[in-house]
Structure 1
Amino acid sequence: MASLETHFLATLFFAPIGIRRFLCSSSLFLKNPSLFKSKPWYFSNPKWKNLDLYILAVALPLASFAEIFIFSSLSGHSTYRFSFFQQFSSLSLFWVLIVFFVIYDNLDHSLFNETFVFAYAGMAFLVEYSFSGVGVTGLGTVVYELLAHLSLLCAGCCLVLSVKRTAFFAEFFLSFGLVFKGTWLLQAGLCLYTDAFVPTGCKKLELLPRSPDADVHCELEEDGLRGMALVNLLFALHAILITVSSCVIFGVLSSSKKQRCAETSGSLLDQVESDSLLMRPVHEIEME
């Protein structure tokens, strides 16, 4: 993440995926809570509607190659070499995860089942958490530390879902974390890479003449504390706004009788319901 543009592009990926995941999982949960099971990816029918998945499959390798290009241009600086290598590793892990989604139907499900996919996603988020903000100084440390907490939240939710896929609260917080990461990345870009949003008493510094990287430093300790307080306030406002929006959307979905997602109906759900019916005692079915 080296500029406002890259932060904005990351927002365009994270936020829509989180919103789409929340809509689909909530629709599936509201249709029949007792039969809810989280899915690594909620596929649309027909598959060409999964445009975000295929865009990610192409965009992540391009982003990795961009990291290599920047890495080679800054090869004389060991700190930045290490930082870009970390970002490249994190992008590669998530690209492999997207490949899993694309070819999932052709994999051996006895080995690469949904539990494995969730566990792998949790590991990828943990790697991102460990790499987030490395080499960043000044006010950027606070911004990326908060972003790292969101990665840790997503990792924990994925690990919970790998053990218990019926845990809707984990699905909810995973969607919440993805949307929050998207909005906070945009906020981070505005705070660190634009002059208009730099806190009073602080200024943006170019780290290297050849690099778009920048950081925000405050000359006085009082200005630095004020800047950190402002960042924490913005983080809390993002959390409140996303929480309220999620509750409103969930309420609207619960009151609507229309199907909100392709996977809330169709052969897959019918199969699950029929299996559940076969497992119930005969006298219960007769009573109904």
Structure 2
Amino acid sequence: MASLETHFLATLFFAPIGIRRFLCSSSLFLKNPSLFKSKPWYFSNPKWKNLDLYILAVALPLASFAEIFIFSSLSGHSTYRFSFFQQFSTLSLFWLLIVFFVIYDYLDHSLFNDTFFFVYAAIAFLVEYSFIGVGVTGLGTAVYELLAQLTLLCAGCCLVLSVKRTAFFAEFFLSFGLVFKGTWLLQAGLCLYTDAFVPRGCKKLELLPRSPDADVHCELEEDGMRGVALVNLLFALHAILITVSGFGIFGVLSSIKKLKCAEATGPLLAQVESDGLLMQPVHELEME
């Protein structure tokens, strides 16, 4: 989390995944709510349509190499050694999860089942949660505390889904949390690493020479309180916008029911239709 660029890249990682999860899970849920089961990743057929998955598998190692490059230029500072370690370890955990999805067809599903993936994702989020905001002072503390709460929400939803994959509310809040994390990371980058979005009465301070890291400090306590209130207001506006958009999209999908993901058009849908055909004669017999 060293600059506006890294925040923006993190936004490109979390927000599209959250949007994709919400669209696919909602489509699957609307087909037949009683047969809904959450998936660690909603694959598309044919395989080339999973282009976003393959892009992530390549992009995350590139992001790690970028962290190594930044670290090598600042290796004389112990502060950046720890910062590099926390970012590299978090990226590595999520990258390994993406790799699991890429080679999913070749894995032993008795061991690497859906429960395993949800538990692993929860652990990755908890590791990220333990590192968020470490060493940050000033206004950045309030910004990253809110980000940590979103990360904890994602971890909790993954744990719920590992136990009960039919819990659509957990799937909804997981998608909500991922999108929210993405938009809030971008907001954090704008608030902490650009002069244009620094609250009035506060200023951005460079932590060390040649460093992209900065923090926002307010000279007066009143300015600091105003800055924290502004951060909380922005957080609430993000939450309202994403919630309203989520329910709006869900309402549109429930009316058109035309969005098709692989998990909603493949074997599961066939099973739903088969169950419907089997139940129809029984219903007609009861009517007679």
Maintained 8 Å contact 2:31/2:269: no
What SS class does the counterpart of residue 39 from structure 2 fall into?
Answer: coil
Maintained 8 Å contact 2:158/2:174: yes
How far does residue 155 in structure 1 lie from its aligned partner after superposition?
0.3
What SS class does the counterpart of residue 14 from structure 2 fall into?
Answer: helix
What SS class does the counterpart of residue 223 from structure 2 fall into?
Answer: helix
Maintained 8 Å contact 1:147/1:184: yes
1:137-173 deviation line (CA, Å, top 9, x unaligned): 1111111111111110000000100000000000000
1:184-219 deviation line (CA, Å, top 9, x unaligned): 011001101111100000001111222111111111
1:2 matched to which residue of 2?
2
**Given the two structures, how large is their TM-score scaled by the length of structure 2?**
0.94
1:1-59 deviation line (CA, Å, top 9, x unaligned): 21112211221221111111101000100110000000001111222122221111011
Residues 252 and 272 of structure 1: CA distance in aligned 2, closer, same or farther (over 3 Å): closer
What SS class does the counterpart of residue 215 from structure 1 fall into?
Answer: strand
Maintained 8 Å contact 1:259/1:265: no
How far does residue 276 in structure 1 lie from its aligned partner after superposition?
9.1
1-structure distance, mates of 2:149, 2:156:
11
How far does residue 75 in structure 1 lie from its aligned partner after superposition?
2.2
2-structure distance, mates of 1:31, 1:204:
51
Residues 279 and 207 of structure 1: CA distance in aligned 2, closer, same or farther (over 3 Å): farther
Q: Which moved more, 1:265-274 or 1:86-95?
A: 265-274
Q: Which moved more, 1:7-16 or 1:152-161?
A: 7-16
Maintained 8 Å contact 1:67/1:84: yes
1:248-275 deviation line (CA, Å, top 9, x unaligned): 1111111113234232112343146647
**Given the two structures, how large is their TM-score scaled by the length of structure 1?**
0.94
1-structure distance, mates of 2:118, 2:277:
28
What SS class does the counterpart of residue 280 from structure 1 fall into?
Answer: helix
1:150 matched to which residue of 2?
150
What SS class does the counterpart of residue 198 from structure 2 fall into?
Answer: coil
User: What is the aligned-residue RMSD (CA, Å)?
Assistant: 2.2
Maintained 8 Å contact 1:7/1:185: yes
Residues 282 and 221 of structure 1: CA distance in aligned 2, closer, same or farther (over 3 Å): same
Maintained 8 Å contact 2:253/2:259: no
Residues 142 and 285 of structure 1: CA distance in aligned 2, closer, same or farther (over 3 Å): farther
Where structure 1 has 5 or more consecutive residues not aligned to the other structure, the ranges are none
How far does residue 99 in structure 1 lie from its aligned partner after superposition?
0.6
Identity of aligned residues (%): 90
Residues 118 and 277 of structure 1: CA distance in aligned 2, closer, same or farther (over 3 Å): farther
Maintained 8 Å contact 2:140/2:192: yes
2-structure distance, mates of 1:106, 1:82:
36
Where structure 2 has 5 or more consecutive residues not aligned to the other structure, the ranges are none
Maintained 8 Å contact 1:38/1:168: yes
Residues 280 and 57 of structure 1: CA distance in aligned 2, closer, same or farther (over 3 Å): farther
Residues 279 and 154 of structure 1: CA distance in aligned 2, closer, same or farther (over 3 Å): farther
How far does residue 287 in structure 1 lie from its aligned partner after superposition?
7.0
Maintained 8 Å contact 1:13/1:52: no
2-structure distance, mates of 1:188, 1:134:
15
How far does residue 281 in structure 1 lie from its aligned partner after superposition?
12
List aligned pairs for 1:257-272, cutoff 5 A: 257-271=257-271
List aligned pairs for 1:19-34, cutoff 5 A: 19-34=19-34
How far does residue 178 in structure 1 lie from its aligned partner after superposition?
0.4
Residues 231 and 283 of structure 1: CA distance in aligned 2, closer, same or farther (over 3 Å): closer
